[in-house]
Chains A and B, each alone.
Chain A
Amino acid sequence: MSTVSLVVRNALWKKKKVDLLVARGRVASLIPSARKTRVEAAQELDASGLLLLPSLTDCHTHLREPGFEYKEDIASGLDAAAHGGFGNVLCMANTNPVNDNATVTERMLDRARAAWPHGPRLYPIGALSRGLKAEELAPMAELADAGCVAFSNDGLPVPRAEFFRRAMEYAWDQGKVVIDHCEEPSMARGAGMNEGAVSGRLGIPAQPDVAEAAQVARDILLADYLKIPIHLAHISCRRSVELIAWAKERGVQVTAETCPHYLTLTEERVEGYDSAAKVNPPLRTRDDVEAMLQALRSGVIDILATDHAPHAAHEKEVEFDLAPCGISGLDTALSVTWGLVEKKLLTLDDLVRAWSEAPCRVFGLPVNRFQAGDPADFLLFDPAAQWEVTPETMRSKGKNTPLLGTRLRGRVAAHFLGGKKVV
């Protein structure tokens, strides 16, 4: 026990008081606080009243660097991640230049290590196609060698099924999964919200939920036919969830994620032409929100992700049709989903599974289950802390969220990665 560097005492883990012992950046052991072990450690911390959680993994963020550093850069994005409870961040390839070659990947990784040497750790997602144009495959072997952990055309859905099939096959040769932004592009062109009574009344060009579900169906059938796994990004509606449930029953290797806003907000938030609520896929109906919650509880939806999409204020402060899609999510994600636990719509176990275990499993990252030898990536979460979402309380450069001005409960009190305190 002499190598123990850190002891966290009296934290709540699965409703029990525990002491966490950390040695050499890894979990040494987790023991009931009642045992009152005497351990010599360089550092000791009393975590009374705080929840112990494994550090979160966000498998879907947009960090905007290179190319759009005025929206966000890797340093500011990882800052928001660290404070939001995320220890691993998978970033999408729609940068400028696009992350479709090793030079871009390596530069991203260098920037991340320079800004946050102890983490949060950046895991780039490579482009599926060169320039995200869905015409030629990206050099996926080169990208995988450089450190890309998955491939995606996120932001620019792939219309041609044949091309998408080849991309899935080629990516799987590299041992990587493809993440698809499911959207049948011809049904969603120019759309700013969900198609329905609200869009009809407001006169906003809209996309129906079937634009998403049609592509979900295609991807499931391909995964089934090819016997290759597929990961479906930011699922937003009941129709998609029903297809995924069917696929899982059939044994298709499909995994899926959803985002905090699809569990909490509906299309009504667009009333008043609020561009902060403009996101792609769009906010759906109350029925869809209920379907998403149910799917997350039952495991049909495996993963929570932020789809963190920061934009500059002036880009959102325009006519609704012209505003870019996206919600800045790293700062608020954990508090918002904790709110669902408080309302008993999700359990704490759901949260840990969807924010930590499942993304690490799907993308092959080490996961902390608080067993000896696991990475000492954890956070102490203050469930009673209240905070107001304001431009000042958000770490991300992107202040674009429909939650501005609302009060949230629960906040990260401390965040450790590899046993080192980052927050």
Chain B
Amino acid sequence: MQWRHKDLLDVSQLSADEARHVLDTARYFREINSRPVKKVPTLKGRSVVLFFAEPSTRTKTSFDVAGKRLSADTFSLAKSGSSLSKGESLKDTALTLQAMNPDAIVLRHSVSGAAQFMAERLECSVINAGDGRHAHPTQALLDAFTLVGRWGDLKGRTVLILGDVAHSRVARSNVLLLNLLGARVRLCGPRTLLPPGVDTWEAEVFSDLGEAVRGADAVMCLRLQLERMQAGLLPDLREYSRTFGLCERHMAQAAPDALVLHPGPINRGVEIASDLADSGRSVILDQVASGVAVRMALLFLYMTRKSAE
């Protein structure tokens, strides 16, 4: 498949065939990751800037490893402590990055729309590694990759996304992608953590976990930011874990062999019971491994694309 996109802002840009193509490509790269020498010269001489304006060790490391295994040069820029710091606008940051002439920029930013803002101003590819509450396409793709790895196909499967949907870019991208790949999506969380207009989303919405989990093939827990307590969206952690923390008791209601996912880092005992996170149902470490393969696939596709002209 000839890759035609310059940027990956969200999965909404992808057709079902394109999404499957990413997963197929990732499958190929996963093989490389299990070889003794985990490096191929595919992107030798190309450079990737990892610009993380919001800290995220996991995603950044995952992209870094992905780039290095393809022999690309990766450069990290953090917002704090770099010259691209205080007082400089994102536009100037974009221009500065452009001047370094990279082939791709991986951007993590705390404001929704930041990736689009950069993409509109940069000639190189922009890969959104999470922007505000908006989108986290690479996470959704690695989640799908993990599930496809277990099931072969998402068609007819039911996936429950559980927790703070309102503030979650992971949830937004996953709802789009899971639907695109033929899965049915359920959402569950207290009303205070469901986004406005959620009834217009392609998903069934629940506030009762017991009901939501019934027959689900997988439960995707979302990370709970502890500041939701101060914002008055939740009373306390104990009550949250009692009503929305996933445990074996719930999983008994799910489909047999139902899987448990979590984008990490986990608050053990809050979003998910500790023993469940470590159980055979959990594919949380699979997700991490999938992350590298999926990001290798994305870097490969976006950095070797032929421009339309």
Residues of chain A whose beta carbon lies under 8 Å from any beta carbon of chain B: 195-204, 206, 208, 272-273, 314, 317-322
| Complex interface: chain A residues within 8 A of B69 (CB) | none
Contact B89 A317 (CB under 8 A): yes
Pick the contact of A321: B89, B112, B196 (CB < 8 A).
B112
Q: Mark B133-153, 1 if CB is under 8 A from A, else 0.
A: 111000000000000000000
* Cα distance A321–B117 in the bound complex, in angstroms: 12
B91–A318 CB distance below 8 A = yes
- A208 and B196 CA atoms in complex are apart in Å by 9
* 8 A Cβ contacts from B190-241 to A: 195-198, 200-201
Which residues of chain A come closer than 8 Å to B172, judged between CB atoms? 201, 203
For this complex, 27 residue pairs linking A to B, each with C-beta atoms less than 8 Å apart, are: A196-B196, A196-B197, A197-B196, A200-B196, A201-B195, A201-B197, A201-B201, A202-B112, A203-B112, A203-B133, A203-B169, A203-B195, A204-B113, A204-B134, A206-B196, A272-B113, A273-B113, A314-B89, A317-B89, A318-B91, A319-B109, A319-B114, A320-B111, A320-B112, A321-B111, A321-B112, A321-B132
- Which 7 A-B pairs give the minimum distances between C-beta atoms? A197-B197, A273-B113, A203-B133, A200-B195, A203-B134, A319-B111, A200-B197
Q: Does B25 contact A (CB under 8 A)?
A: no
Q: Is B253 an interface residue (CB 8 A)?
A: no
Residues of A within 8 A of B132 (CB): 203-204, 321
CB distance from A208 to the nearest CB of B (A): 8
**Which residues of A lie under 8 Å from residue B109 when comparing CB positions?**
319
Q: Do A199 and B113 touch (CB < 8 A)?
A: no
Q: How many of chain B's residues touch chain A, expressed as a range? A: 20 to 34
- Chain A residues with Cβ below 8 Å from B134 are 202-204
Task: For residue B189, give the distance in angstroms from its CB to the closest CB of chain A.
Answer: 13
Interface residues of B in 91-105 (CB under 8 A from A): 91
Does residue B90 face the partner (Cβ distance < 8 Å to A)?
yes
B116 at the interface (CB under 8 A from A): yes
When the two chains form the complex, which single residue of A198, A206, A319 contacts B113, counting CB atoms closer than 8 Å?
A: A319
Most buried by B among A319, A320, A322: A319
Q: Is the CB of A199 within 8 A of B196?
A: yes
Q: In the complex, what residue of chain A is closest to B172 when comparing beta carbons?
A: A203
Give chain A residues whose Cβ lies under 8 Å from the Cβ of B111.
319-322
**Alpha-carbon distance between A201 and B132 when the two chains are bound, in angstroms:** 12
Q: Which residues of A contact B114 (CB under 8 A)?
A: 319
Query: Once the chains bind, are B90 and A319 in contact (CB under 8 Å)?
Result: yes
B135 partner residues in chain A, CB cutoff 8 A = 203
Q: Which residues of A contact B91 (CB under 8 A)?
A: 314, 317-318
B111 nearest CB across to chain A (Å) = 4
Q: What residues of chain B lie closer than 8 Å to A199, measured between beta carbons?
A: 196-197
Interface code B101-136, partner A: CB below 8 Å = 1, 0 otherwise?
Answer: 000000001011110110000000000000111110
